[in-house]
Chains A and B, each alone.
Chain A
Amino acid sequence: MKKVPCLEVNGVTKRFGGLLANDNINFTVEEGEIVSIIGPNGAGKSTLFNCVTGFYHPNSGKISFMGEEITVYRADKICKMGVARTFQIVQVISDMTVLENVMTGALLRFSKIRPSLEKAEEVLAFTGLKEKKELSVTELTIADKKRLEVSMALATQPRLLMLDEAMAGLTRVELREMMDLIRKIREKGITLVVVEHVMEAVMEISDRVIVLNSGRKIMEGSPQEVVVNKEVIQAYLGEKYNVVSP
């Protein structure tokens, strides 16, 4: 019998007025994989993310998580089922400490404060923010804020974690640390889908890469296949710089 894929996106189309943001997109993500979604600005990556996590509902198509159709579910219900996400622009709770932020995420699986606090401590130790747990989030650097957002997502105990540009704007050292964290998350058995612009990171961490352009999927394959693909290079650099084929 065939294994149920972690995430299955089937012919998803999302329109905003006359703009076709996602056009008949198909892909699957198996459990334990790291899949990157890349594409130039405006390619429809974030829209696709929002469709999967219930922030938007697609005009047509079907999305399933662990075999259950979630196409029209509310965002919080999808989260409860085990899909966590972060945002392109970091979203944390600004009048709480680091620990309280993560604890609020952990409360999804507990009704009492104490066990959630324990879970939050555990998550912070895992993500390396333990020393900063008493800080107010306004005192954090951008890298730490991104790490905090990942911690909050992990505190909801997801099976699938979706990161929207978690590595944009980081220094080289911070980038390394984030990549290590992503690998560590996968080792825990959590499947990852990441939207990323930083190609260095995409090449290194992904098992598979999906390339979007103008709302359509133009390519899917291993990182090595993707970077030599003619269409991908055209999408990113334009016809003029196409040096792969004559």
Chain B
Amino acid sequence: MRNLTLKQIFTGIIVLILVILFPLVFSKPFPQHVMILIFMFGMMGVAWNIMGGYAGMFSFGQVAFFGIGAYTSSFLLITYHVNPWLGLIAGGVIAALVGAAIGYPCSNLRGHYFAIASIAFAEIVRTHFNNWKLIGAAEGMTLPMLEESFENFMFHSSKLPYYYIILAFLIIALIVCRFVATSKMGYYFRAIKESHDVAKVLGIHVVWYRLIAIMISAFLTAMTGTFYAQYVLYLDPESVMILPISVQIVLISMLGGAGSVMGPVIGAAILIPVSEITRVMLGHKGTGIDMIIYGALITLISVYQPKGVWGLFLQIGKRMK
């Protein structure tokens, strides 16, 4: 991977200014909410991409990390009055450790076998959380209303602070992903994705590098979990730990372009508005319409441009030269 060109830096700055100004122009809650979801799913896509797009571990269990992040910070806040920012770190660390603990026995699983194992893992975590009295079991947890402040990670009068916090998170995730992609780690991940055999003959400790990918991905995903908990202030396993969220994360990343830094964000920017707008316009009669559109888009993209929308951009860019 090369250094960023001047043109790319320029485009990046313009896009950044636009998204910073966006909530000031569109001050209604709905567009802001949609943008927050785009950033959130974009970030989870970026995190998935480190595991799936670079290291080739197609995880359909990201929601477990999301849930662990959300639950850890919320539980610590409710029970021990721990500051949510500390809870965020704790959630990330726990998710990373759980990821490593489950990733280790799965070290030799590749492709769809890994995917199946990841679904099983997430479902086990969900079932467990559904029955775990300490964290509210199936009834879930309601976060206490704290005074509105950045320190408390809680804002009641406006979505604006949430908007900027998740935007900052997303940028952190993108920086992490770019760092990974352009370092030794990123090349090693790509070798592992190609085949464990080729990685081994290049002297790569496959198990170790796979665990690193899982841990980075789990940490970032858990961060969005804590954000979500602070944003919605209510959690239950059936809303934060279900399989469709994991599937959506994979679809977003694949549509946008797995294996590229920006791909998942593009994917989120396309798919999230589709699902939110059909939900608002059609109400519950529209359930599933977003999935039909998703399905069609995914089919088209996988037939015509397996590298996703980002790959399409690159192709057009090359042709214009």
Chain A interface residues toward B at CB < 8 A? 53-55, 74-77, 79-80, 84-87, 91-96, 100, 103-105, 107-108, 110-113, 116, 152-153, 156
Contact = CB atoms under 8 A, between A and B. Distances in A.
Interface of B: 182-184, 187-188, 190-191, 194-195, 197-206, 259
B200 A112 contact: no
Nearest to B196: A75
A96 B259 CA distance: 12
B182 A113 contact: yes
B215 to A, nearest CB: 19
B314 to A, nearest CB: 13
Given A93-B194, A95-B259, A96-B190, A79 B184 contact: no
A153 B200 CA distance: 11
B201 A153 contact: yes
B194 A95 contact: yes
Greatest chain A CB density within 10 A among B188, B191, B197 is at B191
Contacts of A55: 197, 200
Contact of B203 (A76, A93, A94, A96): A76
Nearest to A82: B203
Contacts of B202: 79, 104-105, 107-108, 152, 156
Given A112-B184, A113-B182, A113-B184, A104 B191 contact: yes
Contacts of B182: 113
B194 A87 contact: no
Contacts of B184: 107, 110-113, 116
Contacts of B204: 76, 108
B198 A91 contact: yes
A74 B207 CA distance: 11
B201 A79 contact: yes
B1 to A, nearest CB: 9
A50 to B, nearest CB: 10
A107 B203 CA distance: 9
Contacts of B191: 93, 104
Contacts of A53: 201
A76 B205 contact: yes
A93 B198 contact: yes
Contacts of A116: 184
A87 B188 contact: no
10 contacts: A55-B200, A76-B205, A76-B206, A79-B203, A91-B201, A95-B194, A104-B187, A105-B203, A113-B187, A156-B203
A111 B184 CA distance: 7
A180 B202 CA distance: 24
Contacts of A75: 200-201
Contact of A104 (B188, B205, B206): B188
Contacts of A94: 194
B16 to A, nearest CB: 26
Nearest to B259: A95
Closest 4 CB pairs of A and B: A79-B203, A75-B200, A108-B203, A91-B198
A75 to B, nearest CB: 4
A185 B203 CA distance: 20
Given A76-B206, A153-B201, 12 more contacts: A55-B200, A76-B199, A76-B204, A76-B205, A79-B202, A80-B203, A85-B201, A86-B201, A87-B197, A96-B187, A104-B191, A156-B202
B104 to A, nearest CB: 15
Nearest to B307: A95
B201 to A, nearest CB: 5
Nearest to A92: B198
A79 B205 CA distance: 10
A107 B188 contact: yes
